Amino acid sequence: MLKVLVTGGAGFIGSHTVCELEASGSRPVIADNFCNSEQRVMDGLEKITGHAPVVHRIDCTDVQAMRSMFAHENFDAVIHFAAFKAVGESVEHPLKYYRNNITSMMVVLEMMKEFDVQHLVFSSSCTVYGQPDHLPVTEESPLKTPSSPYGFTKQVCEQLVKDFIASEKKFSAALLRYFNPVGAHPSGFNGELPMGLPNNLVPFIAQTAAGIRNEVSVFGSDYNTHDGTCIRDYIHVVDLAKAHVKALAWLVKNKGKCEAFNLGSGRGNSVLEVIRSFEKITGKKLNYKISDRRSGDVEQIWADPSKANLELNWKTELSLEDALRDAWRWQLNL
């Protein structure tokens, strides 16, 4: 049984990972400043797990607050999610992203060293690959200049972790490169809860189907893809959350290692395919319009998850259709 700090644990992926940690017998402790989440996420976690989560309402860039929490909790491992994550917003406000995402990573590493917490799972992203030359993407694919400041912060944080592990031989880290997480907990008690206008496709689709938004904007229809819209590798958030539990088990057995793992389904779907799948599953006809391309978007990318399948003993079990069905159930419960 591991006591695990989950920074950003009130967020979309973080909160689902808290559920899977609980199910595995670990004891998650959340650190979050709730700048991009709501109390109802904690209420949902209590319904799913049967008890209120342990939460520290702090900013992960605050060294003194982090030091106080580490001294009090005696952690065995850290899963670091806390970061701003909207590609488009990062293009408009790069300094906001550099300060928050990189500083929080540095503070986490400093606290891990100070309190001898030896295991780290880092929430990275497929954006570190930029627009790849060859698909699917493997962990050996070159890291290109990212198309957004958000992607660049993930590259920088990965390098910080690599350098830290190289200097601290007893520590270990797993760099989990997510592709596109979608869906919600099958209970309907937890899901993606964007503050204000959603930045991600599926919550925007769900809110449009629910009548909250007038239409879905499809950013670009002239990409070099089969239907002209961007292609992504969509992975159910529950599958993704389970990978973090597997990564913790891998860390315990691999002292001194720092490895990257692609977490994806291995399949690509276009924006229009996602819209049509949602319409088929829910019976809701979506109003959508073609808009200009969005700054920072990559044309197409999907994963080769073979390394995670083999070394973490993990693979996706849920489909895009499952994810859309669960996302709609969550939307109806809001």
Contact residues for 151 (Cβ-Cβ < 8 A; gap 6+): 87, 90, 125, 127, 128, 130, 296
Selecting among 150, 178, 223, 234, the annotated active-site residue is: 150
Distance CA 264, CA 129 (A): 14
Sign of the four-CA dihedral 146, 309, 174, 115: positive
- Within a 10 A sphere around the Cβ of 264, how many other Cβ atoms? 27
The answer to whether residues 146 and 198 touch, using CB atoms and an 8 Å cutoff, is no
Taking the C-alpha atoms of 39, 53, 109 and 36 in order, what is their torsion angle to the nearest 10 degrees? -10
Whether cis (ω within 30° of 0) applies to the bond prior to 136 is yes
- In the annotation, is 150 catalytic? yes
Distance CA 323, CA 325 (A): 5
Q: Which residues of 229-244 are buried (b: 16+ CB within 10 A; e: fewer)?
A: bbbbbbbbbbbbbbbb
The answer to whether residues 4 and 79 touch, using CB atoms and an 8 Å cutoff, is yes
Q: Are strands 231-232 and 269-270 parallel, antiparallel or unpaired?
A: antiparallel
**Active site members:** 150
